[in-house]
Structure 1
Amino acid sequence: MLDRLDADTDRPGLDLTKADYWATRIEPGTFSMGDDNGLDDEKPQFDYFIRRPYALARFPVTNRQYLPFVEALAGRGTPEAVAAARKLLQLMEMHKQKPENVRPGLWPGARYRAGEGNHQVIGVTWYAATAFAWWVNEWLHEIGVLTAGEEVRLPTEAEWERAAAYPPVLPGGNRRTWRREYPWGDWDEPHPGIRANTD
């Protein structure tokens, strides 16, 4: 109901312009990626070096966060959001992409269903997710939230694994010592409600 009344907007960790949007910073370093004892798509195990510190978003992107992106591509929104969208539209044209290609396939029209503002945005392609990240990067630079050298983009597979399997700062010693099989720890650790649907 709060979302339908547009009164559910101040949730911590969901404002892209605030520092609490980002999870703990992951420090650079070498970690052991993959798992020789795991499934076929986890092999081979090898050392990988993360060169720059980074942080993932604390939560998946919501419909409410994605809507200003769609609106900006249509020329609506703040001047900074629209300016970032204009730059993106030039890139999209070069790649023969259209703005309608980034609209979530499960939205019933030009926006999400009432009451679903804080639901995770779904029904977007990899291209649309990449375009959204590119637009957020430009927009946050336009409004002065990001400084030179900082960027928003989709994480690489290595960055996902590093964030999910290791602590933010890598301790010395054997590179596999601190590796967790799952983000919550071992499969049988009793953390109700935290496990992922691994099936």
Structure 2
Amino acid sequence: MGQLNAEVIARQAQDAHSRTLALIDGLSPQQLLGPRLPTVNPLHWEVGHAAYFYEFWVLRQHLGQAPLRADADRLYDSITIAHDNRWDLPLPSMEETHHYMQQVLDRILACLASAHDPTRDYLAQYAVFHQDMHNEAYTYTRQTLNYPAPGLGRPAPTALGSGVLEGDVQIPGGRFMLGATEQEDFVFDNEKWAHPVDIEPFCIARTAVSNADYLGFVEAGGYQQQQYWDDEGWTWCRQSALKHPVYWRQSSSGWQQRQFDQWRPLPLHSALIHVCWHEAQAYCRWAGRRLPTEAEWEVAASAEPSIDGLTLSPRKRRFPWGDSDPQPDHANLDGFALGTVDVGAYSAGDSAFGCRQMIGNVWEWTADRFGPYPGFTPDMYQDYSQPLFGTTRVLRGGAWPTRGRMIRNTWRTYYGADRNDVFAGFRTCAL
């Protein structure tokens, strides 16, 4: 593994803390608790839990410090506290919760300023990324609950480019190393380790599916025709009673999309978002396409062609555009856009094969169930990956609120096939 930088992690922790405060700012006590739903947590609980994660793993487990609160385990341990019980906990006031969050941050910053400690740095980086993931969850919670858009203190970036980008790219077959290597400074257990897979030649869309693309499926009555859905998907479709994506509606002035608490005209060229795996599969059947496998997705994002273009080069990119960290012209990341942009934007982020926006804008569903790589062993937080093996589907690439410091080509996330509340879209492959 590479060597982490404690000063960088400290700045990231401060930034993640500031983002949390911005994402809950302006919400009433009632909104911070929110309704009891299976897909969201009470924000009042969740922000305390994210701070507790730093305290438990870095300060207590590694450094042996005493708990800052005697009741912290009973309040914030997500492993032992069932989801539905989180609304019933005797949570401290928000003022006390803010104080606890600040106490934890202050101690984390103090310990990161001390002598070099690789284990401490690994755990602190883990906790920052854990908070980044929760910050993304706070964002979709605001969308789910019809709350106002958060104010993030910076104007929305100007998307570089617009419109659509039609067609597929052809990708040659060959041997490919799927997963992360030990040269990475930090990886999660489900990315370990790179292992050879054989890839057959395939064709994949240059962009994710746009709203206009999917509107064709909707207006063709795709949600009413069982032939496009497998049995599980059709059951979901009937139970959801949807006839279009969850945040769409048809008005007298045309199709609209809800973004937080505002209904706006449906941006036809923007990437489709907030659709579940079942919806993605149904669209593919209607369109005569398919979802990429997880390995195909990573090949399209990170591989390069050989000199003759007939097979895959051994070289693998960390990001679609190369190995340099994401810059503002590469991808729609970090949340400031407050939504998706046109699928034709950000040409500087193209992969070696010409696929656009494989990082940022929308998480992309793949065909595969989430599972372990060969030789998998869980990391210190044993419940991060393995409880979800076999029951969830893999998504890749990050979305508009995903932090650029966290995402890369080998990153894997996972949700149940019925989740249409998360920031997910998809791209397709030719059959």
Q: For the superposition of Structure 1 and Structure 2, which TM-score range results when normalised by the shorter chain? A: 0.5 to 0.7
Match of 1:163 among 300, 304, 316: 300
Q: What secondary structure sits across from 2:204 in the alignment? A: coil
Equivalent-residue separation in structure 2 for 1:171 and 1:196 (angstroms): 33
Whichever residue aligns with residue 246 of structure 2, its letter is G
Whichever residue aligns with residue 227 of structure 2, its letter is K
Q: Does residue 47 in structure 1 map to residue 188 in structure 2?
A: no
**Residue 58 of structure 1 aligns with which residue?**
206
Structure 1 vs Structure 2 CA RMSD: 3.3
> Gapped runs of 5+ residues in structure 1?
1-10, 15-20, 76-81, 138-151
**Residue 98 of structure 1 aligns with which residue?**
237
**Residue 13 of structure 1 aligns with which residue?**
165
Alignment check: 8 A CA contact 1:70 1:103 kept: yes
Equivalent-residue separation in structure 2 for 1:30 and 1:188 (angstroms): 26
**Residue 228 of structure 2 aligns with which residue?**
88
- The TM-score with structure 1 as length reference comes to 0.64
Whichever residue aligns with residue 186 of structure 1, its letter is D
Q: What secondary structure sits across from 2:275 in the alignment? A: coil
Equivalent-residue separation in structure 1 for 2:164 and 2:314 (angstroms): 34
Whichever residue aligns with residue 135 of structure 1, its letter is W
Equivalent-residue separation in structure 2 for 1:102 and 1:95 (angstroms): 12
The Cα of 1:96 is off from its aligned counterpart by 1.9
Equivalent-residue separation in structure 1 for 2:306 and 2:285 (angstroms): 27
Q: Report 1:178-193 matches (<5 A).
A: 178-188=315-325, 193=329
Whichever residue aligns with residue 154 of structure 1, its letter is L
**Residue 383 of structure 2 aligns with which residue?**
none
Q: Report 1:19-34 matches (<5 A).
A: 21-22=167-168, 24-34=169-179
Q: What secondary structure sits across from 2:177 in the alignment? A: strand
> Which of the two has higher C-alpha Rg?
2
Q: Which moved more, 1:28-37 or 1:101-110?
A: 101-110
Equivalent-residue separation in structure 2 for 1:42 and 1:164 (angstroms): 15
The Cα of 1:168 is off from its aligned counterpart by 3.7
The Cα of 1:73 is off from its aligned counterpart by 2.0
Q: What secondary structure sits across from 2:324 in the alignment? A: coil
The C-alpha deviation readout for 1:66-111, integer Å capped at 9, x for no partner, is: 0110121269xxxxxx9xx56326x458842426446212213484
Number of residue pairs matched by the alignment: 155
Equivalent-residue separation in structure 2 for 1:64 and 1:167 (angstroms): 30
Equivalent-residue separation in structure 1 for 2:233 and 2:248 (angstroms): 26
- The TM-score with structure 2 as length reference comes to 0.32
Equivalent-residue separation in structure 2 for 1:194 and 1:153 (angstroms): 27
Equivalent-residue separation in structure 2 for 1:94 and 1:108 (angstroms): 21
The Cα of 1:27 is off from its aligned counterpart by 0.7
> Gapped runs of 5+ residues in structure 2?
1-162, 258-264, 334-403, 407-431
Q: Which has the higher contact order (CA 8 A, sep 6+)?
A: 1
**Residue 218 of structure 2 aligns with which residue?**
70
The C-alpha deviation readout for 1:32-89, integer Å capped at 9, x for no partner, is: 11123241232111001012x21221122111110110121269xxxxxx9xx56326
Give me the identity figure in percent: 30
**Residue 133 of structure 1 aligns with which residue?**
284
Q: Does residue 116 in structure 1 map to residue 267 in structure 2?
A: yes
Q: What secondary structure sits across from 2:171 in the alignment? A: coil
Equivalent-residue separation in structure 2 for 1:74 and 1:46 (angstroms): 39
Cα distance change of structure 1 residues 156 and 170 upon mapping to structure 2, 3 Å threshold:
farther
Alignment check: 8 A CA contact 1:35 1:42 kept: yes
The C-alpha deviation readout for 1:4-57, integer Å capped at 9, x for no partner, is: xxxxxxx6634xxxxxx11x2011111111123241232111001012x21221
Whichever residue aligns with residue 317 of structure 2, its letter is R
Equivalent-residue separation in structure 1 for 2:243 and 2:226 (angstroms): 14
Alignment check: 8 A CA contact 1:63 1:112 kept: no
